[in-house]
Amino acid sequence: MITKVTHVSVLVNDQDEALKFYVDTLGLEKRSDDPMPGSENQRWLTVGPKDQPDVEIILQATDWGVEPITTEERAALVGKAPGLLFQTNDIKADVEALKAKGV
């Protein structure tokens, strides 16, 4: 029986830019940043909410584990996830804070 969700992947074009956004803009913490075995440029990069250590968001490069695709196909994948929801204790204040950061 499934008891909880531990990871969800979000496809990103640039892992460093995504990390900066999720940490500096959304306030999540970096959990792991490790090279993938057998790969020169692929990383296992995860972030998560500071108060929820059992959940991680994988910032997955669009070229990780897929056949070569066109630039347009890769761009269409960015930001896609089956569903990614954040809980907040003050949505109005958080919306204003994110707007102030250009989101």
CATH number, position 67: 3.10.180.10
Domain that holds residue 70: 7-100
The predicted model gives 1-10 an average pLDDT of 79
pLDDT recorded at residue 27: 96
Assigned domain for 1 exists: no
pLDDT of 34 higher than 80: yes
Tally of domains within the chain: 1
| Integer-rounded Cα radius of gyration of the chain | 15
pLDDT recorded at residue 55: 93
Better-scored residue on pLDDT, 1 or 13:
13
Assigned domain for 70 exists: yes
DSSP H or E segment with residue 58: strand 56-61
Assigned domain for 38 exists: yes
Better-scored residue on pLDDT, 103 or 32:
32
CA distance 88 to 33: 26
The predicted model gives 4-18 an average pLDDT of 89
Q: Is 51 helix (H, G, I), strand (E, B) or coil?
A: coil
Assigned domain for 2 exists: no
> What amino acid is encoded at 69 in this protein?
I
Assigned domain for 92 exists: yes
Assigned domain for 88 exists: yes
Per-residue pLDDT band for 77 (boundaries 50, 70, 90) equals confident
Average pLDDT of the chain to the nearest whole number: 85
Classify residue 39 by its DSSP letter. -
